[in-house]
Amino acid sequence: MTVTLVLVIAMAVLFACGVYLLLERSLTRMLLGFLLLGNALNLLLLVMSGAAGDPPIGKSSEGITDPLPQAFALTAIVITFAVSAFLLALIHRSWTLSRADEVEVDEADVAIRSARGESTDEDDTEVDTDTDTGGTPDDGHERHHEAPTDEREGSR
């Protein structure tokens, strides 16, 4: 089974870009990432079918291209199409509701953070975790500020 190196490289690049975009916070970028990923998957299906052969019409029945992966890719394209249409609608809905195109911070996470840091609202999360383990907020501040100085001393 031989495959074109170009196809494999193209597939790898598409996968990489798709995954990168999916990791973004913006929904539109996630949609673009999903589209790239879908195309990468279609290429994967084609690559897996081996080297391209003759069209199945005409001459002999030997050496024709395997038609099954093409059918897979076609089905996958249709599904990708349906899902992207839905995602677009979702993005539009999210935009009309809140003018935001971003995945919001999870409510439960916010709840946990605020439950921990009731006394120290304005501080960052690291201070909050400190206060959780060790007594008063002031303690947390001190330890938090001490840690970097210790490191500096160590490096000297």
Closest CB 147 distance from other proteins, rounded Å: 29
Binding site for other proteins (CB under 8 A): 1, 22, 27, 30, 34, 37-38, 41, 44-45, 47-50, 68-69, 72, 75-76, 79, 82-83, 86-87, 90, 93-94, 97-98, 103-104, 106-108
| Residue among 44 and 127 whose Cβ is closer to other proteins | 44
Residue corresponding to tokens 């959780």: 132
Distance from C-alpha of 95 to C-alpha of 101, rounded to nearest angstrom = 6
* CB of 129 closer than 8 Å to CB of 143: no
23 contacts: CB under 8 Å, gap ≥ 6? 33
| Residue among 98 and 125 whose Cβ is closer to other proteins | 98
Q: What is the token pair recorded at 16?
A: 């990489």
Closest CB 154 distance from other proteins, rounded Å: 35
| Residue among 85 and 147 whose Cβ is closer to other proteins | 85
| Residue among 27 and 127 whose Cβ is closer to other proteins | 27
Closest CB 18 distance from other proteins, rounded Å: 9
User: Under DSSP, is residue 54 helix (H, G, I), strand (E, B) or coil?
Assistant: strand
Closest CB 65 distance from other proteins, rounded Å: 14
* CB of 66 closer than 8 Å to CB of 50: yes
11 contacts: CB under 8 Å, gap ≥ 6? 40, 43, 44, 47
